[in-house]
Chains A and B, each alone.
Chain A
Amino acid sequence: MLLQQLINGITLGSTYALIALGYTMVYGIIALINFAHGEIFMAGAFAGLFMVTVLKINIFLSLILSMVFCMIMGVVIERIAYRPLRKSSRLSALISAIGVSIFLSTLALMVFGADAKGFPDNTIPLIQIKLGPAEISSLQLLILGISAFLMMALEFIVRKTKIGKAMRATSQDYHTASLMGVNVNRVISVTFALGSSLAAAGGVLVGILYNSVSFNMGLMAGLKAFAAAVLGGIGSIPGAMFGGIFLGVAEVMGVAAGYSSYRDAIAFAILVLVLLIKPTGLFGQKIQKKV
């Protein structure tokens, strides 16, 4: 029973982690909470759904194409909604982000309608695999596998590649990075591209998991992932991964313990607790004012 809940929780949590990574990466570089990030997740789910149902493309290819689609979308959003406000107050960019969020969810409502849509039943052949007393479905395995692969790929990019090093340098010291010859605008675009593609993957996977894609799915998922990013320490990549999985497990355990009507409240209760007890999050660093 406990093992079963743990499997369910980690599966759900890994999708939160995929979304949380985008929040944390963008915050790490330009100190902006990208409130439109949840809507990118929603757009990713719709893009995947559209390709599977209308264009009849294989689910894996659809997943990749949806990631590419959102990559472009993230870069374009940054270009038109955030970059012109780079030198204004942080509040202006935040309000712009909320505006983009409302715009995208309303656009989805107009294009796809208000009712939730589902992926076709045979998108992923469902097989239950016995794991001692618990069971894991082929879908859960797939979600875990894809999430783990994407997070490892991200870790590789950030740790080992030149652009990844430039991203870390920029997040640690914006001006000094530009003094090294880093094109900071390009680094910011790449950050949005990577974060948005992970959110798109999360969107497609969640869409299949719940068999439901709707215009407002980005709101709750985005807020929970934001809570996960804060729990892990906003700006920290391992923190977002851990925070997402922790939140997923906590939510599933809470439901299993009988508090199913508080399902969505659990994440926010944790958010409030973190902000009260350790505002920098588990992996976060003390914010040092630069002189």
Chain B
Amino acid sequence: MLVVENLSVSYGAINALKGISFEITKGEIVALIGANGAGKTTILNTISGIVEPKTGKITYNNKDITRVVPHEVVKLGISQVPEGRRVFPKMSVLENLEMGAYTRSDKQGIKQDMAEVFQRFPRLEERKKQLAKTLSGGEQQMLAMGRALMARPQLLLMDEPSMGLAPILVEEIFNIIAEINKTGTTILLVEQNAHMALSVSNRGYVLETGEIVLKGEASDLAQNPDVRKAYLGE
């Protein structure tokens, strides 16, 4: 579904990505794990079209999307839940969700998806008139996820959904990620929390300072001594 080949990105003199290649098959959850500054967010933002790559190629459903602008990428069915949630603080929960459906014009379908989001996240329905900035961190994460789902994505890019959340909430969020995947959405999950990420994923890649150093089945990676040492605190 998504093939990334030899992707390099630099910010001025700093090489954030040094020739990364990976792929995602339809229906999978793929985890990209790595420490802060490894280049995880850069990968997502390059796929979304916010960051322009120096070299390399991104192919999505056999279409070259390497230099496609962000709003066109969304129309192709790729949505992102950005790092730090990035809900629109001075817009209501409802308006945030409407922004998620910005590229769509099927009123009936939007209404139906909105109902589905509220079913998945009942807290959001209770607070639909509130401004997003008044929500708690967990609620904002739910809103960011609901907002991305409103675009009816085929591929969902999630950037550190566990960041800054209490452990019990992290578990809830990851359960929901697995559920979203079961309804047919392919997911690329970027995480520092390797344990949780690998527990819901099919496959994983380990990223270190802009390079992929390990890849494999999620269950194998979770058992890998190097991974356990570096990311699972052993």
- In the complex, are the beta carbons of A291 and B99 less than 8 A apart? no
As a 0/1 sequence over residues 50 to 81 of chain B, the CB contacts with chain A under 8 angstroms (1 = contact) are 10000000000000000001110011000110
> Beyond A180-B102, A181-B103, is A169–B71 a contact (Cβ under 8 Å)?
no
Range class of the A interface residue count? 10 to 19
> Which of B80, B98, B102, B103 has most chain A Cβ within 10 Å?
B102
Is B192 an interface position by the 8 A CB rule? Answer: no
- In the complex, are the beta carbons of A180 and B82 less than 8 A apart? no
B4 to chain A, nearest CB (A): 18
Is A168 an interface position by the 8 A CB rule? Answer: yes
The residue that B91 contacts in the complex, of A162, A168, A181, with Cβ under 8 A, is A168
How many angstroms between the C-alpha atoms of A214 and B151 in the bound complex? 51
- In the complex, are the beta carbons of B88 and A179 less than 8 A apart? no
How many angstroms between the C-alpha atoms of A180 and B50 in the bound complex? 12
Q: Look across to chain A and name the residue whose beta carbon is closest to the beta carbon of B100.
A: A180
- In the complex, are the beta carbons of A172 and B50 less than 8 A apart? no
The residue that A182 contacts in the complex, of B71, B80, B86, B147, with Cβ under 8 A, is B71
Q: For residue B79, which residues in chain A have a CB less than 8 angstroms away from its CB?
A: 179
- In the complex, are the beta carbons of B91 and A180 less than 8 A apart? no
Q: For residue A175, which residues in chain B have a CB less than 8 angstroms away from its CB?
A: 50, 70, 82, 86
- In the complex, are the beta carbons of A172 and B71 less than 8 A apart? no
A239 to chain B, nearest CB (A): 13
- In the complex, are the beta carbons of A181 and B88 less than 8 A apart? no
Q: For residue A183, which residues in chain B have a CB less than 8 angstroms away from its CB?
A: 69, 71
- In the complex, are the beta carbons of B99 and A178 less than 8 A apart? no
> Beyond A166-B102, A169-B99, is A180–B147 a contact (Cβ under 8 Å)?
yes
Q: For residue B88, which residues in chain A have a CB less than 8 angstroms away from its CB?
A: 168-169, 172-173, 176-177
A window 48-99: CB within 8 A of B: none
B window 14-37: CB within 8 A of A: none
Is B84 an interface position by the 8 A CB rule? Answer: yes
Q: For residue B95, which residues in chain A have a CB less than 8 angstroms away from its CB?
A: 165
> Beyond A168-B90, A172-B90, is A180–B84 a contact (Cβ under 8 Å)?
no
Is B185 an interface position by the 8 A CB rule? Answer: no
The residue that A179 contacts in the complex, of B70, B84, B98, with Cβ under 8 A, is B70
How many angstroms between the C-alpha atoms of A183 and B70 in the bound complex? 8
How many angstroms between the C-alpha atoms of A234 and B101 in the bound complex? 29
A window 147-189: CB within 8 A of B: 162, 165-166, 168-169, 172-173, 175-184
Residues of A with Cβ closer than 8 Å to B? 162, 165-166, 168-169, 172-173, 175-184, 291
List 6 additional A-B contacts (Cβ < 8 Å) besides A162-B102, A165-B95, A181-B74: A172-B90, A175-B50, A182-B71, A182-B102, A183-B71, A291-B84
